Amino acid sequence: MTKTAWVFPGQGSQTVGMEENLLDHPLARMRFAQAEEILNWSVLELCQGDEERLSQTQYTQPCLYVVETVLAELLLKQDNPPVLVAGHSLGEYVALYTAGVFDFETGLKLVKSRAELMSTAAGGKMVAMMQFNREELETQIAAIPDVVIANDNSPQQVVISGTPTGVDALIAQVKARRKVDLKVSGAFHSPLMQSAAAEFAEILADVTFNDARIPVLANIDPTPAIKAAEIKSRLVQQMTGAVRWREIGDYLAQSGITKVVEIGPGKVLTGLLKRTSANLEVKNVSRIDEFSY
């Protein structure tokens, strides 16, 4: 019997035109209209505009949330739900929506606030590193102040985050085949986001969560959760905590899951899983005509 998990990508997967295949569907049109009322700007215009503006955090995150939730909602109508869900950073909000933890409007308002707080964070730096010695990396992180692993994506791919001084010192000490500066304003998923996280925690405190209908693997704790209080507690920690995607992939591979479907633009998450979990069948769904997975 096939046991399927759905995973949802985060910031960095956005592409101009990612909404195009959805425009003829009534549900999608309704969601785009709802989103415009909540955001006071048009997701459709952003997705049909220029890549530079779409890549700005305050726009990227709501646009991805809307496109991915529409795809997930349409897939759920096929009566073939997953047994687990997870999302990478912003994608975790889509996973929670899919699991019934909150409705579309509530989720989008949270994402809007999160994106605005993150976009105004300053004074940090993030660098992606590929093909390195992990023991050497972890040793240097322990020795250098104000730098952490923000995204632990796979054994050989991480994103480090921290003060510019700390990040520069680390990348000077650790050899890697490739190092890429990320175009972000702050040190996301690090303790330097504490001020923004505290503001966001106050917003979250006033939002009612439901128990999940589908277990959710969280970025900061890659074990299944259903209870609303536990899910909210994990989400409060997400802005300053690491995205432990490597461990999420390990859990999927070891828990009896046989197929993983990445829902949203791009193939980042399935690409990671292909390299680390050969026993998993992986599939991407970014368009309505790809629904028969």
Catalytic hit among 89, 119, 161, 286: 89
User: Is 193:239 a contact under the CB 8 Å cutoff?
Assistant: yes
Among the listed residues 189, 190, 277, 286, the single catalytic one is: 189
The tokens describing 263, both together, are: 């829902």
Written in H, E and C, the secondary structure of the chain is: CCCEEEEECCCCCCCCCCCHHHCCCHHHHHHHHHHHHHHCCCHHHHHCCCHHHHCCHHHHHHHHHHHHHHHHHHHHCCCCCCCEEEECCCHHHHHHHHCCCCCHHHHHHHHHHHHHHHHCCCCCEEEEEEEECHHHHHHHHHHCCCEEEEEEEECCEEEEEECHHHHHHHHHHCCEEEEEECCCCCCCCCHHHHHHHHHHHHHHHCCCCCCCCCCEECCCCCCEECCHHHHHHHHHHHCCCCECHHHHHHHHHHCCCCEEEEECCCCHHHHHHHHHCCCCEEEEECCHHHCCC
Joined together, the tokens standing for residue 102 give 């909150």
292 is catalytic: no
Residue whose token pair is 């425009």 = 23
Tokens of 290: 């790809």
Rounded CA-CA distance 33/48 in Å is: 15
Active site residue 255: no
CA dihedral 184, 230, 222, 128 (to 10 degrees): 10
Residues noted as catalytic: 89, 189
